Amino acid sequence: MSKVYVFFADGFEEIEGLTVVDMLRRVGVETVMVSVNGSKVVTGAHGIVIQADGVFTDYSYEDGTMAVLPGGMPGTNHLMAHEGLKEVLFSYHKDKKYLAAICAAPSVLGMNGLLEGRHATCYPGFEEKLLGAKAMPDAVVMDGTVITSRGMGTAIAFGAALVSVLVSDEAAEDLLKAIQY
């Protein structure tokens, strides 16, 4: 069974983070909302306050299948600055576990050398931060174990791509039909 850690920081883009959590939980994927703030309470870029399942130090992460980074500002900057999260990302990359990021958050992967030789996408204007990657204009780009997406408007397609790799293409199609996408 897959286990996904979604990392939240103050200033995250609410639609990008919560859509992924919602879609994964709808298909039965164990999905853990992790705050990197040191408090379970996280405030989104538009003032929406959520409560994460736990804080970063509550988990060891070796049991995870995928790490997901929502975008938004300044949330992406907070994710970029978190040294413990960087260690998790490097470990997942080394172990060929899935890394997924949307909007500005693919820059976290790029600036840390985790996109080298891959195709990726991001929020327009962040392409120069996809170091080592070929930037693509697609809504969602899957290249090996790295999945990236453009932004708020692509959150459902991004969530469906994650369901496809973690469960099945059929589960993703059924979910999209159920939510009238």
Q: CA 64, 103, 161 angle in degrees (round to 5)?
A: 50
Strand segments, DSSP code E, in 45-179 are 49-51, 54-55, 66-69, 98-102, 119-120, 134-135, 140-143, 146-149
Its pTM stands at 0.97
- Is the pLDDT score of 180 beyond 90? no
Q: Which ranges constitute the DSSP H helices of 46-153?
A: 75-81, 83-94, 106-111
Q: Which pLDDT tens digit goes with each residue over 92-141?
A: 999 999 999 999 999 999 999 999 999 999 999 999 999 999 999 999 99
At 1, the pLDDT band (50, 70, 90 cuts) reads confident
- Residue 160 near residue 19, CB atoms below 8 Å: no
Q: In the prediction, which pLDDT does 181 show?
A: 67
Q: Pinpoint the alpha helices (H) of 10-123.
A: 14-26, 75-81, 83-94, 106-111
Mean pLDDT rounded to a whole number for the chain: 97
Domain ranges for the chain, please list them: 3-174
Calpha distance 102→83 (Å, rounded) = 20
CB atoms within 10 A of CB 161: 22
User: Domain 3-174's class?
Assistant: alpha beta
1-19 mean pLDDT: 97
77-97: per-residue pLDDT in tens? Answer: 999 999 999 999 999 999 999
